[in-house]
Amino acid sequence: MRVLGLAVVLGVAAARMQAAQMNELRLEYSNPNLMPAQWTLVMWPDGRGHFHAERGNAKDRNQDEASMEPAVIDRDVQLSEEFAGRIFAMIQQHPPQAGNCESRSKVAFQGMKTLQFRGPDGEQSCTFNYAKEREVGEVADSLVSVAATLIEGERLRMIWQHDPLGLDKEIQFMTEAAADGRLQQLCTIRETLAQLAADPGVMERVRKRAGKLSQCDR
């Protein structure tokens, strides 16, 4: 009987896990004026995710700035379970409604975003510059901030390699952006930050800021 009971418990747990993994959230972003010009971030309820970005060819960047932009980013990521739980709870309560996402407010172009949620009941998605529904906009903004962190991580590595004197300005920006929410989930680039903090060839101020940023919780 105990064996049977254990089998039932394990079966229920497996079924719940399988149901949870059916949920998938995807944000596709496009802005030809930026580098990268387009990217896609996919995530699942346990915090697993994948990020893919394509550089593009923004005309408003000079050659020196463009040379510090990553050409292509394609990597798996691990977000915190707390972050993933909050995002999925919000999108499940306020799923994107096709044809009803764009706000009528006149706002500047921020990049086109397609938010897609797939769950046991099917798939829902919509495309917008500025979302009509506050919760949909908050989910998109959070994922944009995660993508910004991943992009900054790659930029940081390039600057570290090709322009070490530029690290001070870059790490200062990252510190300010992390404080105001423009960058989220810095644990996705913890390895880079920790390596930078341990490099004796980098100025002390940069090392200290990188070390502080690397002290994040998953």
Strand partners, 39: 29, 53
Residue 91 falls inside a structural domain: yes
pLDDT for res 62: 47
Asked if pLDDT for residue 97 goes beyond 70, the answer is yes
Of the candidates 26, 78, 51, the residue with the CA atom closest to the CA atom of residue 217: 78
Q: Residue 194: what residue type?
A: A
pLDDT for res 89: 96
Residue 7 falls inside a structural domain: no
Residues in the chain: 218
Question: In which band, very low, low, confident or very high, does the pLDDT at 216 lie, cut at 50, 70 and 90?
Answer: confident
Residue 142 falls inside a structural domain: yes
Number of domain units in the chain: 1
Residue 180 falls inside a structural domain: yes
Residue 53 falls inside a structural domain: yes
Determine which of 9-18, 51-60, 70-79 has the lowest per-residue pLDDT on average.
9-18
**Mean pLDDT across the chain:** 88
- Taking phi first (over 0 means left), then psi (-120 to 50 degrees means alpha), and beta for anything else, what does residue 31 get? beta
pLDDT for res 71: 79
| pLDDT, average across residues 36-48 | 97
pLDDT for res 120: 86
Asked if pLDDT for residue 40 goes beyond 70, the answer is yes
What gap in Å lies between CA 185 and CA 55, rounded to an integer? 22
| pLDDT, average across residues 26-31 | 98
Question: In which band, very low, low, confident or very high, does the pLDDT at 3 lie, cut at 50, 70 and 90?
Answer: low
pLDDT for res 29: 98
**Residue 91 and residue 138 in contact, taking contact as beta carbons nearer than 8 Å:** no
Asked if pLDDT for residue 170 goes beyond 90, the answer is yes
Residue 15 falls inside a structural domain: no
Percentage of residues in the chain having pLDDT higher than 90: 76
pTM greater than 0.75 (yes/no): yes
Of the candidates 148, 143, 146, 137, the residue with the CA atom closest to the CA atom of residue 170: 148
Residue 17 falls inside a structural domain: no
Core vs surface per residue 115-127: b (16+ CB within 10 A) or e: bbbebeeeeebbb
Q: Residue 97: what residue type?
A: Q
What Cα–Cα distance (Å) separates residue 204 from each residue in 170, 196, 201, 207?
14, 10, 9, 5
Range of the domain at 90: 22-214
| pLDDT, average across residues 54-59 | 78
Residue 207 falls inside a structural domain: yes
